[in-house]
Amino acid sequence: MKAVYIGAGIDIRPIKFLKHIKLFYYIDGLPFSNFGILQSNIIMKNGMDGYSNPRFISELDKNMTGINMKLINILDNIRIYSDGDQTVYYYTNTSIPEHYKKIKDAIINFDTLIVAGHDPNIIFMDATKKKLHFIGFEGTSYYNENENEGGPDTPNGIINKLHIQEIINKFEKYTYINNDGTHCSFDDWNSYYDHYNSHFFNKINGK
């Protein structure tokens, strides 16, 4: 199985909880910028742009080491981690949709999509013809932005396109994973979203 996670940050939950997936492609605009290719043009005391995160690589390496994922190679902006069973190709300083052409051959025919913390642009969906397993995590908003009068903040985002049912034919399964690793799976997006809503409001109400 091949999983893609855009906007991965230093999140190691998928690696810990999805042991059946042996190959991950993590993608993030960091350390260059927290906002894709955008720069603030405000230079901090450390000489870095205000949107960059100079601690990102060290924090990433620390998190990976914590789950026995060793850094086995560096190829330009690609950091490769492995524990001998699972492998992560981490594309740093890489933003979607701007750098899609740089990753499309690597992620071709991926079968699992992790959407957590960030609603990625749908352009990378062109890289696969397989029916996908959508995996979401606790702490991410899967809110229907079309319910806002102003419309969606990310009209070409995966979450928005699922809500308006433009890409539901590309998915065959949806799984919601809690921070403790427990999870629930569903055959359709509406069931997934109903579960997310119920879980979210139960958390708010302390249940």
| Domain count within the chain | 1
pLDDT of residue 108: 96
Cα dist from 160 to 94, 105, 107, 201, whole Å: 22, 25, 22, 21
Residue 136 buriedness (CB in 10 A; 0-12 / 13-18 / 19+): buried
pLDDT tens per residue across span 83-130: 999 999 999 999 888 888 999 999 999 999 999 988 999 999 999 999
207 residues of the chain, pLDDT tens digit each: 899 999 999 999 999 999 999 999 999 988 755 656 655 556 665 656 556 677 889 999 999 999 999 999 999 999 999 999 999 999 999 988 888 899 999 999 999 999 998 899 999 999 999 999 999 999 998 987 665 544 456 678 999 999 999 999 999 999 999 999 999 999 999 999 999 988 765 565 455
Strand partners, 2: 23
Please state the length of the chain.
207
Give me the pLDDT at residue 50, please.
55
CA dihedral 11, 166, 192, 172 (to 10 degrees): -90
Q: Which domain holds residue 130?
A: 2-204
* Strands laid side by side in the 132-137 sheet: 70-75, 78-82, 87-91, 23-27, 2-6, 112-115, 132-137, 171-177, 183-186
Kind and range of the H or E element at 111?
A: none
Question: Which of 192, 199, 159, 194 has the alpha carbon at shortest distance from 178?
Answer: 199
**What pTM, to 2 d.p., does this model score?**
0.87
